[in-house]
Amino acid sequence: MLILLVPFINFALTILQSTTVLGESSTVNNRPIIGILAQEKFSSNKSYIAASYVKFIEGAGARVVPLWIGRDECYYEDILSKINGVLWPGGSASFTSNKGYADAGYKIYKIAKRMNNNGDYFPILGICLGFELLTYVVAERVHHRTNCSAQSLPLELEFTPGYRRSRMFSNISDNVEDILRTKKVTSNQHQYCVTKRGLQCAGVSNKFRILSLNHDLDGVEFISSLEHITYPFYGLQFHPEKNLYEWIIGKKIPHGKNAIEISQYFANFFVNEARKNHHIFQNSKEEARTLIYNYSPTYTALGNSIFMQSYIFDSADTVMIY
């Protein structure tokens, strides 16, 4: 019996150590795990996660669990109770599919909202399409995006008044703030935008704190960063992960020192938000068999993909194995 208990004792000790190392606050989780939502791969029954999002999270000191699409609410209830935050990545998934990315995102949103209402701090970060998904699910799936000419467009941020009073930017350094304000370091690769008028028409303008704006190639003003007023839900219309990990030619992705610094700022911010959550897996074996390390990325840039590497999942891969 003692032999059987050893793995569970070691797992418990690891979790305890993660919150008490060298006098660090016991309220901080130093072993955060982030779920990254997969999305459907067109013309196939496969799904995928771009590896740049996984690296983005890992580079800030967290681990990753893939979240499958097409599952019932019980699956998302279970997995969210064991991880510390969710990232909704960019891509090109449809919002009208009943079993895809947007449907899964809506289920995750409802669960995360309920968790936060119950005092269980659980953050979400949406990037590009994930940013649009955030406003879409808060609007109870009312469509409000507008067409936008903002592909291959590096921009500086046009901060709104009071942005430093936000959670996202309250601790920003003067140097990072100056880079974001004055340098074209944010990589915009989107054909849709969310505007202030769009939020008003969807009836959710009072749900968000708009932190920055930008203008597309035709002068259309769009929201480039925001946060939910009540919940730790955040959205970036631009791609901080691309500055670090995507090298496709022709997309005008910024790769200079300043661009790398701001990308790391956003990664660190979100992982630090996840450190405030204390969900854990039931045991070390369950945790290990759920992590992204069980899968291998494919060098998809060789096939003219916009992503250098991607995790591509067959339907058989997505069976939960604990």
For residues 188 and 150, the answer to whether their CB atoms sit within 8 Å is: yes
Q: Phi, psi (5° rounding) for residue 214? A: -150, 175
What span, in angstroms and rounded, lies between the C-alpha atoms of 174 and 187? 21
Q: Mutual orientation of helices 101-117 and 129-138 as an angle, nearest 10°?
A: 60
Q: At what angle do helices 174-182 and 257-274 cross, to 10 degrees?
A: 120
Q: Report angle CA 109, 239, 263 to the nearest 5 degrees.
A: 105
Cα–Cα distance, 304 to 143 (Å, whole number): 31
Spell out the alpha helix ranges (H) of the chain.
2-18, 51-58, 73-80, 101-117, 129-138, 174-182, 196-201, 240-245, 257-274, 284-290
| Residue 128 annotated in active site | yes
Pairing label, strands 221-228, 186-193: unpaired
Q: 144, 190, 228, 239: which one is catalytic?
A: 239
d(CA 102, CA 88): 10
Q: Token pair 């799936």 is at which residue? A: 141
Distance of CA 111 to the CA centre of its chain: 16
Residue that is written with structure tokens 């938000």 in the block = 273
- Torsional class of 239: left (φ above 0), alpha (ψ -120 to 50), beta (otherwise): beta
Q: Which of 52, 51, 109 is nearest to 85 (CA)?
A: 109
Is the CB of residue 234 less than 8 Å from the CB of residue 181?
no
Q: Catalytic residue among 74, 128, 201, 228, which?
A: 128
Q: How far apart are CA 19 and CA 28, in angstroms?
A: 6
* Catalytic annotation, residues: 128, 239
